[in-house]
């Protein structure tokens, strides 16, 4: 830069010809004329080194594509490059759509990519139930409660198909009660039919680690409908990881921040369900939406619970209000308070050991030889020792 300024100063004195100046500074005549032209047009600022970056790169993403990417990101703030790219196929020909890396770089250039924490690598854990078809296993859970604007807790109940990830409902409740859960399950069953199994954790009202086979009143209702209740191991929510992953998206979309009251919160939950099922591409489904994959169940919801007839070889006993069955007039075997008023079937295995069933589901065993104390209840065993 100093040499350029010195060259211009010498030229401005008028004492030297261009040829003499070029020979003195060791430059060509075109370079000399270029410096003089820049100085006359821009002054000393024109002598600064210009960027050699090309004005336009042949592989630059079209401006309309960039605007579409930014528009989709503004609409779906929590989505990444993969999902945004899939939505672009509805607007542009395949040849015009950039790669996932390019979409990510465009978002990052505009400050729309949030840096993520580096996760510690752990051994992968696979779901305990991996269905091969829709309606084979449904997942249900109460997503963790969160405060609404009116300082009241919202408890969203979520029910989804484990194969297609189709989210049937996300219903906000004030409390996690049997009545509220049963009412919402009834609505879903009437619309979509019933599955073969329902996978839940061990929290109320779904299961109880203290109850026989972890069954609760809701579990016995499922059994009466012809649905088998299945559970994750206690303290292992990762065994239903696909449902927990959906909960993370639900929390980000509906609870950060939450709405003022339950009515407004329910509108957010309904919007999330619609977007999750019909718009948001899912990587586990080859970037299809859950609605593209899901099929309705061919098993309709029975409005009335049918009477169950036990095999003629069974003894049929009624469960008392205390949750026990009376055995031989003066012995008691405790089952569960959730079964009070219902009838169970007893099958003899031999040597004084009996199997106890509720409908077609095995509850456990008891040994009549161990019923030593009259009028004292003995608990049912889940395994033979």
Q: How confident is the model at residue 251 (pLDDT cuts 50, 70, 90)?
A: very high
Residues 324, 227 share a domain: no
pLDDT over 70 at 122, yes or no: no
| Over residues 255-270, mean pLDDT | 95
Q: CATH number, domain at 98?
A: 1.10.10
Residue 285 has pLDDT above 50, yes or no: yes
Query: Is pLDDT above 70 for 102?
Result: yes
341 phi-psi bin (left φ>0, alpha ψ -120 to 50, beta other): left
User: Are the C-beta atoms of 199 and 240 separated by less than 8 Å?
Assistant: yes
Q: How many domains is the chain built from?
A: 4
Question: Could you tell me if 42 and 67 lie in one domain?
Answer: no
pLDDT on residue 362: 93
Task: Say if 75 falls within a structural domain.
Answer: yes
The DSSP code sequence of 143-185 is PPPEE-TTS-EEEEEEEEETTT--EEEEEEESS--HHHHHHHH
Average pLDDT over residues 205-223: 94
Same domain, 249 and 342: no
Q: Does residue 154 carry a pLDDT above 90?
A: yes
pLDDT at 36: 87
Do 155 and 236 share a structural domain? Answer: yes
What are the C-alpha distances in Å from 223 to residues 39, 72, 187, 197, 336?
90, 45, 18, 10, 15
Question: What confidence score (pLDDT) does residue 304 get?
Answer: 94
23 is in which domain, residue-wise?
Answer: 2-47
Query: Within this chain, do residues 82 and 209 fall inside the same structural domain, yes or no?
Result: no
pLDDT of residue 128: 65
222/347 same-domain check: no
Residue-wise pLDDT for 329-358, tens only, equals 888 899 999 999 999 999 999 888 999 999
Question: Does 23 share its domain with 98?
Answer: no
> Is the residue at 124 inside a domain?
no
Q: What is the pLDDT of residue 385?
A: 53
Q: Is the pLDDT of residue 66 over 80?
A: yes
Is 375 or 140 the better-scoring residue by pLDDT?
Answer: 140
- Please check the confidence at residue 225 and state whether its pLDDT lies above 90: yes
How large is the average pLDDT for residues 53-58? 68
Looking at residue 125, its pLDDT comes to: 46
pLDDT exceeds 50 at position 223: yes
What residue has token string 């029910």? 159
Q: Are residues 76 and 39 both part of a single domain?
A: no
Instruction: Give yes or no: residues 247 and 333 share one domain.
Output: no
Judgement on whether residues 279 and 336 belong to the same structural domain of the protein: no
Sheet holding 353-358, edge to edge: 315-318, 343-350, 353-358, 361-367
User: So what's the pLDDT on residue 168?
Assistant: 97
Does residue 12 surpass a pLDDT of 90? no
Do 288 and 205 belong to one domain?
A: yes
The answer to which of 65-74, 78-87, 116-125 has the lowest mean pLDDT is 116-125
Average pLDDT taken over every residue of the chain: 89
Same structural domain, 226 and 253: yes
Residue 360 has pLDDT above 90, yes or no: yes
Predicted pLDDT of residue 368: 87
pLDDT of residue 317: 95
47, 5 in Cβ contact below 8 A? yes
Strands 228-231 and 197-200, by their bridges, are parallel
């Amino acid at each position: 830069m100093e040499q350029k300024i010195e060259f211009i100063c010498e030229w401005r004195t008028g004492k030297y010809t261009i040829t003499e100046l070029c020979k003195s500074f060791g430059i060509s005549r075109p370079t000399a004329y270029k410096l003089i032209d820049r100085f006359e047009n821009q002054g000393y600022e024109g002598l600064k080194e210009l960027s050699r970056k090309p004005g336009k790169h042949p592989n630059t993403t079209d401006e309309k594509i960039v605007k579409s990417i930014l528009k989709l990101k503004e609409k779906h703030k929590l989505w990444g490059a993969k999902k945004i790219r899939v939505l672009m196929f509805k607007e542009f020909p395949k040849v015009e759509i950039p790669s996932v890396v390019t979409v990510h770089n465009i978002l990052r250039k505009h400050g729309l990519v949030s840096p993520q924490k580096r996760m510690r690598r752990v051994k992968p854990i696979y779901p305990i139930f991996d269905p091969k078809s829709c309606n084979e296993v449904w997942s249900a859970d109460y997503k963790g409660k969160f405060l609404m604007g009116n300082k009241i807790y919202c408890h969203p109940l979520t029910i989804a198909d484990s194969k297609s990830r189709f989210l049937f409902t996300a219903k906000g409740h004030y409390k996690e009660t049997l009545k509220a859960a049963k009412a919402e399950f009834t609505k879903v069953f009437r619309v979509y039919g019933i599955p073969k199994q329902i996978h839940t954790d061990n929290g109320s009202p779904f299961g109880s680690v203290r109850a026989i086979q972890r069954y609760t009143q809701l579990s016995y209702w499922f059994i009466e409908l012809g649905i088998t209740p299945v559970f994750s191991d206690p303290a292992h929510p990762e065994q239903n990881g696909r449902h927990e992953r959906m909960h993370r998206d639900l929390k980000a979309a509906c609870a950060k921040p939450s709405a003022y009251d339950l009515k407004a919160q329910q509108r957010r939950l309904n919007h999330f369900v619609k977007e999750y099922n019909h718009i948001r591409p899912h990587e586990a489904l080859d970037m299809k939406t859950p609605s593209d994959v899901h099929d309705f169940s061919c098993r309709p919801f029975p409005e009335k619970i049918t009477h169950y007839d036990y095999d003629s070889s069974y003894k049929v006993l009624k469960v008392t209000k205390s949750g026990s069955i009376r055995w031989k007039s003066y012995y008691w075997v405790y089952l569960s308070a959730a079964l009070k008023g219902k009838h169970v079937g007893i099958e003899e295995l031999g040597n004084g050991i009996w199997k106890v069933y509720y409908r077609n589901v095995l509850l456990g065993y008891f040994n009549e030889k161990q019923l030593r104390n009259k009028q004292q209840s003995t608990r049912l065993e889940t395994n033979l020792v």
